[in-house]
Structure formats: structure tokens, C-alpha cells
Amino acid sequence: MHLEIQNVSKKYSKDKYGLKNFSIHIEKGILGLLGANGAGKSTLLKMIATVSKPSLGNITLNKNNIVKDANYMRQQLGFLPQDFGVYPNLNAYEFLEYMAAMKGIGGKNLRAKIQQLLEGLNLIENAKKPIGTYSGGMKQRVGIAQTLLNNPKIVLFDEPTVGLDPEERVRFRNLISDLANDCIVILSSHIVSDIDTIADKVAIMKSGKLIEYGNQNHIINQVADTVFETIIDSNQISNFKEKHLVVSTSRINGKLKIRYVSQNPVQNSITQKATLEDAYLYLNSII
Ligand SMILES: Nc1ncnc2c1ncn2[C@@H]1O[C@H](COP(=O)(O)OP(=O)(O)O)[C@@H](O)[C@H]1O
Ligand SMILES: [Mg+2]
């Protein structure tokens, strides 16, 4: 599987771009798309899913132009949009049968497939109750099940872990890991911890642009040997923030423990092992 995004821009109105001259080459495995709100993640995923077209540029899947011929993508695609809505009066079985019909999936294996998905997503117990009675996390899992009905080769999840509790997140991660053997899986998030334990590669987006792309070590290496911890008086914090990028703070005996990224660490700092979170905040701050 090769997904190629070539110089893609999406212009929403005069001077308003969702994506600006964006290029990336994606192969099988799990890609984490990381960026703050408004970075362009949904804009990009919608164009890959062929529910929106680029204003400029091209997108190909295995060398097939999917802007011109959307069907090649749609046949192999599973997509969970950020604002996915479910039908409150249908139960999970009915909803998945309905979605299958919409996607043109039928046959005698459908029932077994639905059963397998409901089991894998821990929905069996409530599968005969109307979706309107489900919690946010359960609705989200129905949305995830829907993406997998057609055994997709490319699966896009737009902020899939919003609304999931920690246990549900673990389940989701396991499901995705099983899926990713020979598929392209792209999941977007604005939260580093949703991505760092699962993604083979990470793409960091800001203001409609790609600011870094590679495996996690490559990205973390951008801040190798520049992450430190130190303790300062509370009243020094604003002065400290002017000189260094503060990643996190915590209170300790009336003082502040600071984790920060800097080329010029203050005295009495202790070097820390850099994380994806450090690198993400650093790259966001410099570009
Ligand atoms: N339909 C739209 N019309 C106008 N501007 C939009 C539309 N959708 C998104 N945008 C703008 O495009 C930018 C990228 O948005 P989006 O792709 O939703 O980012 P993300 O998913 O990373 O939060 C934002 O500035 C957003 O306001
Ligand atoms: Mg979004």
C-alpha cells in the first residue's frame, strides 16, 4: 500500500486554508497524525477519504489517482469522521447492517462479521439496545466497528479516542495493532499520549503544514540532550518561561519542579530522557 499526497492545498475561502502545499508518502503501518485544533488533520483525512477534494495537488493510492477516481479508494476504505453521528433508534446490530447495506456489503458472512466486531469492541452485552442509550465511549466503538465492516486496507480514524475511558483506549489500541499488519492505518489526535504507544510513524501538523515526519525516535531525537528538570521559586516562573520552553510544572515543598527544553540549561538542572511530548511541544514552539 502506497498513499501519496502531492502538494495538496485546501482553500476554504479567500486567505483561509485548511491545508497548504502538503506532501507526504505513507506506507503500511500505523501513522499518528498529531496537531493542535485547527492544524488541518480533519481537512487532510476528509480528502484522503474522498469526501472532499483538494483545491490544488494530487492524491494517489497505489499510483491510482483518487481525486479523479474516488472508487478505487472507497472500495478499500474504512473511515471514522470526527463528527460521526449514529442513529439513536437503531440497536448496534441494526446500525451495522444498515451501514453494510450502504457500503454494498452483504452475503452470508455479514452476520458473523458483525458478531466478531461487536465482540472485539466489547459491545455484545448491549448490542440489542438502542444506540441512543449508549455512553459516548460505546457510541464511539460502534463508529469504529462500522469502519471495519468491509475488511478495509486503509483505515482513517479522526480523533478516535475522544470520549473513551482509559480501559477503552487500551482496547482500541489492541484492535488497531491487530489491524495494521498489511494495512495503512491513520489516526489523528491532539493528545500525544493517544499516539505515542501505538504509532509506527508520527506526522506533526501545524497551520495546515507538515512540520515533522518520521518514526518516533527520529522525532524524539530533535530534542535529545536538551530536556531538563530543575526546581525554582514560584515567583521566577514567568521569567523562566521567557527564556526556556516549559513542558510541565508540578509543586514540590512550596517550590516548582519544572521540566523544560533548552539549549542553555540553568545551573542545577538534571538531564532527562526526551519523550515524544517534549519533541512535539518543542517543534510546535519553533515553527
Ligand atoms: N468547512 C470549513 N470552512 C472554513 N474553514 C474551515 C472548514 N473546515 C475547517 N476549516 C478551517 O481549516 C483549518 C483546519 O481545520 P481542521 O482540518 O478541522 O483542523 P483539525 O482537524 O486539525 O482541528 C482551521 O483553521 C479551520 O477553522
Ligand atoms: Mg479535526
Per-residue model confidence as pLDDT tens digits over 203-213 = 999 999 999 99
Average pLDDT on 247-264 reads: 95
Q: Best of 14, 16, 204 to mutate for ligand 1, by most ligand atoms within 8 A of CB? A: 16
Return the pLDDT at 33.
97
Ligand nearest to the CA of 190: 1
Return the pLDDT at 176.
85
Report whether pLDDT(54) > 80.
yes
Q: Best of 43, 188, 206, 209 to mutate for ligand 1, by most ligand atoms within 8 A of CB? A: 43
Return the pLDDT at 180.
67
Task: Work out the mean pLDDT of the chain and round it to a whole number.
Answer: 94
Average pLDDT on 36-56 reads: 97
Q: Write the DSSP string, the chain.
A: -EEEEEEEEEEEETTEEEEEEEEEEEESEEEEEE--TTSSHHHHHHHHTTSS--SEEEEEETTEETTT-HHHHHTTEEEE-TT----TTSBHHHHHHHHHHHTT--STTHHHHHHHHHHHTT-GGGTTSBGGGS-HHHHHHHHHHHHTTT--SEEEEESTTTT--HHHHHHHHHHHHHHTTSSEEEEEES-GGGTTTT-SEEEEEETTEEEEEEEHHHHHGGGTT-EEEEEE-GGGHHHHHHHSEEEEEEEETTEEEEEEE-SSPPTT-EE----HHHHHHHHHHH-
Pocket-forming residues, ligand 1, beta carbon under 6 Å = 12, 16, 18, 35, 37-43
- Mind listing the pLDDT tens digit for each residue in 93-141? 999 999 999 888 888 899 999 999 999 888 999 999 999 999 888 898 9
Closest C-alpha to ligand 1, atom 12: 18
Ligand 1 center from residue 18 Cα (angstroms): 5
Closest C-alpha to ligand 1, atom 26: 38
Return the pLDDT at 166.
85
- Mind listing the pLDDT tens digit for each residue in 149-194? 999 999 999 999 887 888 888 888 888 887 767 899 999 999 999 8
Return the pLDDT at 233.
95
> Which residue is associated with the grid cell 491545508?
19
Domain definitions of the chain by residue range: 2-220, 224-286
CATH class of the region 2-220 = alpha beta
Return the pLDDT at 129.
97
